[in-house]
Amino acid sequence: MNAPLIRTLAIACLFIAVLFSCKPSSPKPTGPAFERILQDTTNNRRAQTDLMQVEHYNSICKGIGLNRLYDGVDSFEVRAWRQFSVFGMATDEEIYSLRLIDSTVNLTFYRVYCTQNNDENFRTWNAFTDAKIDSFVAVSKTFPKKIADSIDLRSLWNLKTQSALSIPDSIGFLDGTTTSLELASRSKYKLIRHHEAIAYYERTGIKDIADYMDAHDKLIALFQSNRVYVR
């Protein structure tokens, strides 16, 4: 076999080897897709407000160095949120975080004070969806998991957010307090948000609202009874 032919064959073999080595590898199998349980915003103004509430919570978490539940957690965590001020954009919040860690439960309470709008940046800054932290206090304790036995944590996933309920558009309140439960696990996230829950319940008598208020109150009572709270 002459030299030119040998060189041609060698180049061809090299090209084939490079071609196969550059073939994209098969994608690695992944687990189930992470699910965010939020209401469809189409023709649902309350669901649109839910998304703004998520932005508000996420911005507060970023400001105080707390992971956002929107991305999931390794085990399970529930956070009860409660506005404690209606000044300005009503951005000040109390957060009651219950997190399962192996055979223990961690309870952490935060009181967060946010910076309010002022005349200089009112038109360019949304103090609600882009909350900026003025100051906050926190207290945290870890207990055996049994202290949370009074709360059926799994059933919290079944609670309904206000935007999922059949409430006539004619019923609404401009002012008042918003409370929420955020739930997260490895596989899913859910926001259960209610504005002026008591007032809506009094006007509609919807049992799902009463169920939400009961669960929210029980969670906060767990913190207060175990002195994980700052007055």
Give residue-wise pLDDT tens across range 5-27.
444 444 444 434 433 344 333 33
SS (H, E, C) the chain: CCHHHHHHHHHHHHHHHHHHHCCCCCCCCCCCCCEEECCCCCCCHHHHHHHHHHHHHHHHHHHHCCCCHHHCCCCEEEEEEEECCCCCCCCCEEEEEEEEECCEEEEEEEEEEECCCCCCCCCCCCCCCCCCEEEEEEEEEEEEHHHHCCCCCHHHHHCCCHHHCCCCCCCCCCCCCEEEEEEEECCEEEEEEEECHHHHHHHHCCHHHHHHHHHHHHHHHHHHHCCCCCC
Mean pLDDT of 148-164: 96
Mean pLDDT of 47-57: 93
What are the residue boundaries of the structural domains of the chain, listed by start? 33-225
Query: From the centroid of its chain, how far is CA 114?
Result: 19
- Range of 85-89, 107-111, 166-170, 172-176 with top mean pLDDT: 107-111
Give residue-wise pLDDT tens across range 60-119.
999 999 999 999 999 999 999 998 765 545 578 999 999 999 999 999 999 999 887 655
Q: How far is 197 from 171, CA to CA, in rounded Å?
A: 12
pTM (2 decimals)? Answer: 0.81
Q: How far is 94 from 84, CA to CA, in rounded Å?
A: 7
pLDDT score at 85: 63
pLDDT score at 92: 86
Mean pLDDT of the chain: 84
Picking from 127-131, 136-140, 207-211, which range would have the lowest pLDDT averaged per residue?
Answer: 127-131
